[in-house]
């Protein structure tokens, strides 16, 4: 781990503050868009963003992950509010979901995230990068029928990801297109090496300049009918007339529905989906981390649970760790969780103090920022790298990407994982034992060395091999390297042993009674990890006397 990131919460402020500004700019329209798609009050999305930034970052062990309302939960939230008949009752379910996540953390369910192969995680990142670019193209042209943050192929406006781009051709806004081009120009220039020579450029992020330029052009176009932006083409955060009105947008849950079983079913659904999305995002964020730090996943579930409890108590949507904001944080140079914390503070302060200024930000400028985020997630070099690694890596990678583009995030990941599992099973089927052709000499015993783990999937190939041995041959079945063997395979070997007598086959079994069925992970933890100080002390003493 990079020790300079351990000096204090604000030790990396020169990196974390600029990154938090970019994450804040990306988060505002996403929070509002997801709230709109969820059928919830718009401000509930801002509340969730604030809680995800401030509360979760203080409790989480993830240095670069950013939490907030997630697009993957929008459909569940919409259906849940309609089913329960009240947003306040739904908030009670969000609180309960937080409690369930805390229980999952205590039960150490965070290990689930480690069971997703690297090819699927990288496919998830690339798939999200591509879908970000595709979804932002209409916003860049000024066509904003689909809400910001939508990640599903089939959209609420009746279009899909690709048909939306044909529909936008009849509604191109010159003003929005100009703002997109100017913003893209600024962002590209800011990425050039010569810009890094100026110290001021390291402090001021390109996305902030792009947004400032977008606001300036929006003001300039206000009196030009052909170029002026409509209300749907800019950020639309709710504006309160007073401090009382601002806090009046916070909502308390309805606890009177404690005996409604539907509340508990919805709470469980939210907890499971939110936890899965969080664990997948944690795994992806850790892979993008330049310092390759590892997030404690059980602690992350505890932090997310506390965040959801707090969000539900004050009127916010359910939250997860989210990859778009997390990747924007990493790409903007964030170093520690201070960046996520500050983005939450900025959401709170700006929503309270300058909502009208935020409402001048064109969605076209934000689309340009997200184009860059999406490209960095789905760089062509990554596709080339995965292709070089072979079919076992490339196929699940591409299936995950296609699944995310043509369905949604969780379905796409499920498809990629399914393909990876099928490949494992197929390889397991093909390699039940080892037989070295170079070591075999005609007329000498045939040695079959069983694999380390022999499952019931190997039955067919082992049976075919044994039945195909010529009569009168000499066979050695070597199980000295085998750790586990399925009872079905043992029965096949026993049957062959009896059958060999009738075929004049001389059979010898080696190491067939020495399998250690104990869990090596459990043994390692019990013998090594439970005594770390005692194991390290002799080495320390030796170093003292050198």
- Helix residue spans in 315-458 (DSSP H): 323-331, 338-353, 355-358, 363-377, 380-388, 391-406, 409-430
Same domain, 444 and 374: no
In a domain, 533, yes or no: no
> Does residue 478 form part of some domain?
yes
**Inside any domain, residue 505:** yes
Distance between CA 141 and CA 169 in Å, rounded?
8
Q: Any idea which of 24-33, 266-275, 401-410, 481-490 has the lowest mean pLDDT?
A: 481-490
**Residue where one domain finishes, among candidates 349, 364, 379:** 379
Q: How far apart are CA 511 and CA 479, in angstroms?
A: 5
Per-residue model confidence as pLDDT tens digits over 316-354: 999 999 999 999 999 999 999 999 999 999 999 999 999
Tell me whether residue 50 is in a domain: yes
Asked whether residue 534 carries a pLDDT value surpassing 60, the answer given is no
Answer whether 38's CB lies under 8 Å from 327's CB: no
List the Cα angle 543/544/546 in 5-degree steps: 65
CATH number of residue 450's parent domain: 3.30.750.24
Are 45 and 150 members of one domain? yes
Q: Are residues 443 and 343 in the same domain?
A: no
What whole-number distance in Å separates Cα of residue 113 and Cα of residue 277?
9
User: What integer best gives the mean pLDDT of the chain?
Assistant: 88
168 lies in the same domain as 61:
yes
Q: Is residue 167 part of a domain?
A: yes
- Give me 185's structure tokens: 């120009």
The reply to whether 277 and 186 lie within a common domain is: yes
pLDDT, tens digit, for every residue of 116-151?
A: 888 999 999 999 999 999 999 999 999 999 999 888
Residue with tokens 């029965």: 491
What is the average pLDDT across 365-381? 94
Where does a domain end: 379, 399, 416? 379
Domain contains 301: yes
Distance (Å, rounded) from C-alpha 324 to C-alpha 26? 8
Q: Is residue 540 part of a domain?
A: no
In terms of domains, do 324 and 441 share one?
Answer: no
In terms of C-beta density within 10 A (0-12 exposed, 13-18 middle, 19 or more buried), how is residue 46 classed? buried
Q: What span, in angstroms and rounded, lies between the C-alpha atoms of 206 and 129?
A: 19
User: Residue 347 phi/psi, 5° resolution?
Assistant: -60, -45
Q: Say whether both 373 and 442 belong to one domain.
A: no
Identify which of 67, 37, 31 has the alpha carbon closest to the alpha carbon of residue 310.
Answer: 67
pTM: 0.81
CA–CA gap between residue 24 and residue 333 (Å, rounded): 14
- Relative to beta strand 319-322, strand 433-434 is unpaired
- Residue range 430-475, pLDDT digits in tens: 666 656 555 556 667 888 888 777 877 777 778 888 888 888 888 8
- Any domain includes 517: no
Vertex 454 angle, CA 452 and 455, to 5°: 145
Instruction: Mark whether 465 and 363 lie in a shared domain.
Output: no
Do residue 332 and residue 461 come from a single domain? no
Q: How many domains does the chain have?
A: 2
Band of pLDDT at residue 195, cut at 50, 70 and 90:
confident
**How far is the C-alpha of 153 from the C-alpha of 325, rounded, in Å?**
20
State pLDDT tens for residues 487-516: 888 888 888 888 888 888 888 888 776 554
Domain boundary among 379, 399, 417: 379
What is the DSSP annotation of 130-173? HHHHHHHHHHHTT---SPTT---SB-TTS-BTTHHHHHGGGS--
In terms of domains, do 438 and 372 share one?
no
Which structural domain, as residue segments, surrounds residue 496? 433-510
Both 180 and 267 in one domain: the answer is yes
What is the pLDDT, as a whole number, of residue 540?
39
Same domain, yes or no, for 336 and 438?
Answer: no
Model confidence pLDDT, tens digit, residues 428-438: 666 666 565 55
């Amino acid at each position: 781990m990079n020790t300079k990131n351990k000096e204090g919460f604000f030790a990396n402020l020169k990196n974390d503050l600029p990154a938090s500004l970019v994450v804040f700019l990306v988060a505002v329209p996403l929070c509002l868009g997801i709230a709109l798609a969820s059928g919830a009050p718009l401000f509930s999305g801002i509340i969730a963003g604030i809680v995800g930034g401030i509360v979760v970052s203080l409790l989480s062990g993830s240095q670069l992950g950013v939490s907030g309302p997630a697009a993957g939960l929008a459909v569940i939230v919409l259906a849940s509010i309609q089913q329960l008949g009240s947003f306040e009752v739904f908030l009670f379910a969000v609180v309960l979901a937080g409690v369930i996540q805390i229980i999952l953390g205590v039960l150490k369910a965070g290990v689930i995230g480690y069971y997703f192969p690297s090819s699927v995680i990288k496919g998830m990142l690339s798939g999200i990068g591509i879908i970000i670019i595709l979804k932002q193209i209409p916003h860049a042209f000024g066509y904003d029928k689909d809400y910001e943050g939508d990640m599903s192929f089939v959209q609420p406006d009746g279009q899909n990801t690709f048909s939306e781009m044909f529909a936008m051709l009849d509604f191109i806004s010159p003003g929005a297109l100009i703002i997109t081009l100017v913003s893209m120009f600024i962002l590209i220039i800011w990425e050039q090496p010569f810009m890094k020579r100026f110290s001021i450029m390291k402090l001021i992020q390109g996305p902030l300049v792009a947004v400032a330029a977008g606001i300036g052009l929006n003001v300039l176009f206000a009196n030009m009918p052909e170029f002026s932006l409509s209300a749907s083409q800019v950020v639309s955060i709710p504006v309160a007339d007073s401090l009382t009105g601002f806090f009046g947008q916070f909502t308390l849950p309805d606890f009177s529905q404690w005996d409604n079983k539907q509340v508990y079913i919805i709470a469980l659904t939210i907890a499971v989906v939110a936890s899965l999305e969080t664990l997948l995002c944690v795994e992806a964020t850790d892979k993008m981390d330049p310092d390759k730090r590892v997030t404690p996943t059980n602690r992350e579930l505890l932090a997310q649970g506390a965040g959801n409890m707090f969000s539900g108590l004050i009127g916010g949507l359910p939250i997860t760790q989210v990859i778009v904001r997390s990747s924007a944080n990493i790409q903007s140079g964030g170093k520690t969780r201070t960046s996520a914390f500050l983005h939450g503070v900025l959401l709170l302060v700006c929503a309270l103090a300058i909502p009208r200024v935020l409402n001048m930000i064109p969605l076209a400028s934000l689309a340009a920022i997200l184009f860059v985020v999406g490209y960095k997630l789905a760089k062509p070099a990554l596709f080339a790298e995965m292709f070089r690694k072979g079919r076992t890596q490339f196929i699940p990678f591409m299936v995950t990407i296609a699944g995310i583009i043509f369905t949604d995030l969780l379905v796409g990941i499920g498809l990629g994982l399914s393909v990876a599992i099928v490949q494992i099973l197929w390889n397991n089927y093909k390699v039940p034992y080892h037989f070295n052709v170079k070591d075999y000499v005609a007329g000498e015993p045939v040695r079959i060395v069983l694999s380390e783990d022999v499952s019931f999937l190997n039955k067919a190939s082992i049976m075919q091999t044994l039945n195909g041995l010529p009569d009168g041959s000499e066979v050695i079945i070597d199980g000295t390297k085998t750790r586990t063997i399925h009872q079905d395979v043992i029965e096949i070997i026993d049957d062959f042993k009896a059958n060999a007598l009738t075929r004049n086959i001389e059979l010898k079994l080696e190491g067939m009674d020495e399998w250690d069925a104990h869990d090596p992970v459990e043994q390692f933890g019990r013998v090594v990890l439970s005594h770390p100080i005692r194991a390290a002390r002799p080495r320390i003493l030796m170093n003292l006397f050198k």
